[in-house]
């Protein structure tokens, strides 16, 4: 160690450092970018520590200051650009002593750590030891009293960055959905070749001791069988697995997919390897079977949209937390529950995570399962109940079985097919009759009696099985509403004896349900439970903060923006004005803006005016001038299609070009229906499963009730939705019904749009000037001085 005479700068501003540690995870760069920029925005100095805890232990230029421009373009980069490591010396007090000294020498006493349970454990130990470490450093003469005085406490905030999603206390970790995307792309591809050759495939996925990736992959791809560490199969699993696979084959399935978590084991903790599973399939079923081990492909590549906005919002929250916590506060970890970013106790989260691992080792599997996030068990059960439909104990008595009609209304959205598949499978498991209405309400009224095939058809298991990863709407969707022919709609409802209606779609689906509810007075055919599962890329359905398809759309937009932005790298100095869909809702424009780091986002809720454009052009000018060609990628402005009638996408691109006076160029780009995405994203697939099952359970609750009893219950016409940290049903009618409380009918969007607050964040993180002509607290502009 150097002596205490090592010069120490006395910082004039608070210094906050960020590091990434443990296995890398897509989205870590987004977190670092957000921490760096938010730190600067909040008037502090941003530092990074390279190579995880190794960098803290080694010090020197492994720890250095970061400026605004240094993190430009990081959102789209895979891995972690500041490096990560598994550092053995930090596990020892001697290593942490060196780390403490290096932090003081750099004037840093606030640290954001992004990693898994190990990283956070290390962080918590470090914080608890901090005063003792400093005292020891003074006693050995490595630091002086004066040097340690400003650093009496160490503030640490954790961000969970890990593909494993093994951390208790948060629904998802930064990186887990990107990894799941990679897995699903691979399994979707395997799916095709497996079908062609009628083969079996055993796919091994990562996750260490946690089965989240494996479970979600199985759900998202309709795997026939699954092995996860938390829920080892019963003894004799070989027979069970073979019998289920045989039954699926007998029903006409041409492929067999088995997902094996790398930590899979039997009830005696003996490893179940993918090759052992392959051997069972080959020898017992004589299936031509292949093993695919996905390995580190699961950790690499650019982050998906979900991980980009999640890491950004959590990075921002980490800085806010660092500046707010007091010495007595336990270190927080930034979590997400459904749609709500929150803070939880870091040590409690780590304790529970480690407990889950210990319980697995102690063969207490049920308890281990309950240590995972609350939905884990729900998802596991849902997977079991929908992968095969033969569960005699699940079947309802004849009197409680319903004829459930399923209809898609509105534009296609990713997740519509998986949701329908799940509803069908659940109905079959319970003994209900799933009936698909093809091509929406016009299909119902005009083609129900067509020969040889009408538009109202019972769904076969095999038909629905193939919808697990299909985009669009296989049963056909239509924007037309029942009001176009209410009498015929009611007649056909009666004719086919519908006893429940499941509507999947966007604002039109919501409107259709509302119309049917209001028409109950005239037509008793509608006095049945009606439930809407929001599915629209616009995410503009009242009663929910999330609609199926919006995540798929964001991924498509993010890919589009990444590609065009990169195309500017040869020409440089180019601004793309990208037109997004979304109707009167700026949701996808704003979330895409957060996910790609847009310079500005124009949304209908705010409109566009000439002053705004002038300010943004001035900002672009400043940006390009201070950039000095350092970053070659283009800049993105996102404009929602309805943001202004006058300032169209092309007009804005032309104005920018004109005003740039040759200093930079601009182009309009319209991804159009590309935004509906191809195959649904894993987020949309797994949420489709959960939401569709909840919807079926909801309508099931009305079995045995009279039409009037049903009509009298406000919840008999409801929307399922994510509301903050909960998934809830909201009634359409009644005093608290969405129709009156939360629907802006003329603008076709909810009255309260939760995401509007993110609009300001897009601006803060791009450094865009405020609308009042000022700048974002002066910090974002000021930072350009450093470049």
Ligand X SMILES: Nc1ncnc2c1ncn2[C@@H]1O[C@H](COP(=O)(O)OP(=O)(O)OP(=O)(O)O)[C@@H](O)[C@H]1O
Q: How far is the CB of 221 from ligand F6P (least distance, A)?
A: 19
Q: Is 298 within any annotated ligand binding site?
A: yes
- Tell me the C-alpha distance between 363 and 347, whole Å: 24
| 686 alpha-carbon distance from chain centroid | 10
Q: Decide: helix, strand or coil at residue 666.
A: strand
Task: Return the number of the residue (216 or 633) whose C-beta is nearest ligand F6P.
Answer: 216
Which tokens go with 324? Answer: 């707010």
- Tell me the C-alpha distance between 71 and 76, whole Å: 11
Q: How far is the CB of 454 from ligand F6P (least distance, A)?
A: 50
Q: Which does 206 bind (CB under 5 to 8 A by kind): ligand F6P, Mg ion, ligand X, none?
A: ligand F6P
Q: How far is the CB of 179 from ligand F6P (least distance, A)?
A: 8
Q: Is 242 within any annotated ligand binding site?
A: no
The answer to the question of residue 605 lying near Mg ion (CB under 5 A) is no
Looking at residues 7 to 66 of the shown chain, list those that interact with ligand X (rule: CB under 6 A).
21-23, 53
Task: Report yes or no: 184 and 469 within 8 Å, Cβ to Cβ.
Answer: yes
Q: Which does 119 bind (CB under 5 to 8 A by kind): ligand F6P, ligand X, Mg ion, none?
A: ligand X
Which tokens go with 776? Answer: 């974002």
Task: Say if residue 457 is exposed, middle or buried (CB neighbours under 10 Å; 0-12, 13-18, 19+).
Answer: middle
SS3 annotation, 288-332: CEEEEECHHHHCCCCCCHHHHHHHHHHHHHHHHHHHHCCCCCCCE
Binding mask 224-263 for ligand F6P (x = CB under 6 A): --------------------------------------x-
Cβ neighbours around 433 below 10 Å, total: 17
- Percent helix, strand, coil in the chain, to 5, is 50, 15, 35
Crossing angle of helices 610-627 and 649-660, rounded to 10°? 50
The answer to the question of residue 299 lying near ligand F6P (CB under 6 A) is yes
The answer to the question of residue 117 lying near Mg ion (CB under 5 A) is yes
Task: Return the number of the residue (162 or 181) whose C-beta is nearest ligand F6P.
Answer: 162
Strand positions, DSSP E, 498-621: 500-505, 530-534, 574-580, 600-602
Looking at residues 214 to 273 of the shown chain, list those that interact with ligand X (rule: CB under 6 A).
none
Task: Return the number of the residue (21 or 585) whose C-beta is nearest ligand X.
Answer: 21
8-state DSSP, 380 = H
The count of chain residues that interact with ligand X, using the rule CB under 6 A, is: 18
Task: Determine which residue in the list 116, 412, 634, 737 makes contact with Mg ion, applying CB under 5 A.
Answer: 116
The stretch near ligand F6P (CB under 6 A) out of 205-213, 311-319, 449-457, 703-711 is 205-213
Task: Return the number of the residue (116 or 750) whose C-beta is nearest ligand X.
Answer: 116
Which tokens go with 321? Answer: 């937390």
Q: Decide: helix, strand or coil at residue 256.
A: strand
- b/e sequence 762-784, b meaning 16+ C-beta within 10 Å: bbbbbbbbeeeeeebeebbbbbb
Beta partners for 111?
17, 156
Q: Is 520 within any annotated ligand binding site?
A: no
Q: Is 674 within any annotated ligand binding site?
A: yes
- Tell me the C-alpha distance between 638 and 757, whole Å: 17
Looking at residues 79 to 138 of the shown chain, list those that interact with ligand X (rule: CB under 6 A).
86-87, 90-91, 115-119, 121-122, 125
With the C-alpha atoms ordered 24, 25, 29, 34, is the resulting torsion angle positive or negative?
A: negative
Residue number of the CB atom closest to Mg ion: 116
- Tell me the C-alpha distance between 128 and 539, whole Å: 44
Binding mask 115-144 for ligand F6P (x = CB under 6 A): -x----------------------------
Q: Which residue's structure tokens are 């409680």?
A: 400
- Tell me the C-alpha distance between 109 and 65, whole Å: 14
Q: Which residue's structure tokens are 């160690």?
A: 1
- Tell me the C-alpha distance between 119 and 167, whole Å: 11
Helix H segments across 431-474?
A: 440-447, 461-465
What are the residue numbers of the active site?
A: 164
Beta partners for 729?
720
Task: Return the number of the residue (253 or 299) whose C-beta is nearest ligand F6P.
Answer: 299
Q: How far is the CB of 208 from ligand F6P (least distance, A)?
A: 4
Looking at residues 118 to 137 of the shown chain, list those that interact with Mg ion (rule: CB under 5 A).
118
Binding mask 9-48 for ligand F6P (x = CB under 6 A): --------------x-------------------------
Which tokens go with 277? Answer: 């599973």
Q: Is 206 within any annotated ligand binding site?
A: yes
The answer to the question of residue 307 lying near ligand X (CB under 6 A) is no
- Tell me the C-alpha distance between 81 and 84, whole Å: 9
The answer to the question of residue 52 lying near ligand F6P (CB under 6 A) is no
Q: Which does 299 bind (CB under 5 to 8 A by kind): ligand X, Mg ion, ligand F6P, none?
A: ligand F6P
Q: Is 540 within any annotated ligand binding site?
A: yes
Task: Return the number of the residue (275 or 488) whose C-beta is nearest ligand F6P.
Answer: 275
Q: Is 389 within any annotated ligand binding site?
A: no
The stretch near ligand F6P (CB under 6 A) out of 189-197, 203-211, 307-315, 393-401 is 203-211
Number of H helices, E strands in the chain: 27, 25
What are phi and psi for residue 661, nearest 5 degrees?
Answer: 50, 45
Q: Which does 456 bind (CB under 5 to 8 A by kind): ligand F6P, Mg ion, ligand X, none?
A: none
Task: Return the number of the residue (184 or 492) whose C-beta is nearest ligand F6P.
Answer: 184
- Tell me the C-alpha distance between 565 and 558, whole Å: 10
The answer to the question of residue 206 lying near ligand F6P (CB under 6 A) is yes
Q: How far is the CB of 344 from Mg ion (least distance, A)?
A: 17
The count of chain residues that interact with ligand F6P, using the rule CB under 6 A, is: 10
| Annotated binding residues | 23, 86-87, 116-119, 162-164, 199, 206-208, 262, 290, 296-299, 479, 536-540, 574, 581-583, 641, 667, 673-676, 748
| Annotated binding residues for beta-D-fructose 2,6-bisphosphate | 479, 536-540, 574, 581-583, 641, 667, 673-676, 748
Catalog residues that contact ligand X under the rule CB under 6 A.
Answer: 21-23, 53, 86-87, 90-91, 115-119, 121-122, 125, 162, 164
| Annotated binding residues for substrate | 162-164, 199, 206-208, 262, 290, 296-299
Catalog residues that contact ligand F6P under the rule CB under 6 A.
Answer: 23, 116, 162-164, 206-208, 262, 299
């Amino acid at each position: 160690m150097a002596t205490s005479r090592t010069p120490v700068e006395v910082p004039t501003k608070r210094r906050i450092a960020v590091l990434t540690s443990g296995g890398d995870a897509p989205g870590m760069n987004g977190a670092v970018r957000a921490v760096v920029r938010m730190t600067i925005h909040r008037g502090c100095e941003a530092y990074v520590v390279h190579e995880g805890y190794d960098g803290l232990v080694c010090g020197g230029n492994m720890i250095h200051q970061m400026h605004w421009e240094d993190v430009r373009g990081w959102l789209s980069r895979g891995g972690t650009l500041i490096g990560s490591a598994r550092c053995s010396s930090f596990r020892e007090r001697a290593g942490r002593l060196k780390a403490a000294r290096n932090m003081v020498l750099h004037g840093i006493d606030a640290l954001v750590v992004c990693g898994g349970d190990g990283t956070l454990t290390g962080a918590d130990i470090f914080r608890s030891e901090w005063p003792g470490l400093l005292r020891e450093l003074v006693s050995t003469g490595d630091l002086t009293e004066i040097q340690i005085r400003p650093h009496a406490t160490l503030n640490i905030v954790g961000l969970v960055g890990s593909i494993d999603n093994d951390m208790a206390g948060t629904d998802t970790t930064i990186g887990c959905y990107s990894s799941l995307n990679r897995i699903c792309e691979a399994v979707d591809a395997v799916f095709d070749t497996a079908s062609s050759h009628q083969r079996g495939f055993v796919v091994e996925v990562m996750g260490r001791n946690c089965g989240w990736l494996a479970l979600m992959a199985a759900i998202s791809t309709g795997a026939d069988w699954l092995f996860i560490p938390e829920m080892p199969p019963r003894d004799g699993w070989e027979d069970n697995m073979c019998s289920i696979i045989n039954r699926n084959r007998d029903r006409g399935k041409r492929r067999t997919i088995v997902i094996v978590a790398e930590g899979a084991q039997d009830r005696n903790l003996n490893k179940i390897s993918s090759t052992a599973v392959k051997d069972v399939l080959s020898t017992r079923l004589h299936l031509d079977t292949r093993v695919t081990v996905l390995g580190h492909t699961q950790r690499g590549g650019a982050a998906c949209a979900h991980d980009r906005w999640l890491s950004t919002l959590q990075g921002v929250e980490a800085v806010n937390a660092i500046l707010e916590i007091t010495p007595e506060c336990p270190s927080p970890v930034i979590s997400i529950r459904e749609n709500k970013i929150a803070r939880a106790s870091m040590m409690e989260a780590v304790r529970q995570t480690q407990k889950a691992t210990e319980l697995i080792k102690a063969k207490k599997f049920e308890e281990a399962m309950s240590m995972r996030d609350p939905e884990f068990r729900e998802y596991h059960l849902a997977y079991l109940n929908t992968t095969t439909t033969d569960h005699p104990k699940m079947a309802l008595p004849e009197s409680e079985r319903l004829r459930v009609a399923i209809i898609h209304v509105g534009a296609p959205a990713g997740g519509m097919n998986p949701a329908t598949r799940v509803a069908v499978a659940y109905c079959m498991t319970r003994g209900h009759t799933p009936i698909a209405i093809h091509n929406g309400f016009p299909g119902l009224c005009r083609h129900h009696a067509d020969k040889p095939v009408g538009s109202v058809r019972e769904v076969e298991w095999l038909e629905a099985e193939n919808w697990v990863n299909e985009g669009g709407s296989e049963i056909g969707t239509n924007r037309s509403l029942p009001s176009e022919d209410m009498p015929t709609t009611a007649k056909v409802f009666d004719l086919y004896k519908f006893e429940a209606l499941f509507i999947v779609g966007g604002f039109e689906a919501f409107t259709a349900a509302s119309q049917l509810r209001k028409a109950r007075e005239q037509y008793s055919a509608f006095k049945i439970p009606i439930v809407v599962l929001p599915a629209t890329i616009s995410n503009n359905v009242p009663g929910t903060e999330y609609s199926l398809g919006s995540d798929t759309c964001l991924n498509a937009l993010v890919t589009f923006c990444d590609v065009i932005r990169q195309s500017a790298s040869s020409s440089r100095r180019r601004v793309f004005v990208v037109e997004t869909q979304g109707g009167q809702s700026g949701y996808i424009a704003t979330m895409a803006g957060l996910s790609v780091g847009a310079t500005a986002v124009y949304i209908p809720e705010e409109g566009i005016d000439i002053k705004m454009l002038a300010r943004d052009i001035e900002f672009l000018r400043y940006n390009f001038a201070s950039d000095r060609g350092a970053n070659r990628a283009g800049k993105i402005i996102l404009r929602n299609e309805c943001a202004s009638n006058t300032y169209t996408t092309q007009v804005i691109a032309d104005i920018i070009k004109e005003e740039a006076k040759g200093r930079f160029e601009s182009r309009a780009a319209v991804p159009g229906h590309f935004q509906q995405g191809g195959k649904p994203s894993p987020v949309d697939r797994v949420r489709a499963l959960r939401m569709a099952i909840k919807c079926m359970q909801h309508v099931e609750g009305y079995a045995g009730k009279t039409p009037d009893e049903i009509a009298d219950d406000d919840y008999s016409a409801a929307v399922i939705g994510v509301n903050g940290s909960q998934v809830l049903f909201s009634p359409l009618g009644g005093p608290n019904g969405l129709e009156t409380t939360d629907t802006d009918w003329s603008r076709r969007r909810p009255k309260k749009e939760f995401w509007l607050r993110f609009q300001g964040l897009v601006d803060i993180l791009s450094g865009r000037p405020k609308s009042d002509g000022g700048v974002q607290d002066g910090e974002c502009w000021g930072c350009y001085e450093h470049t």
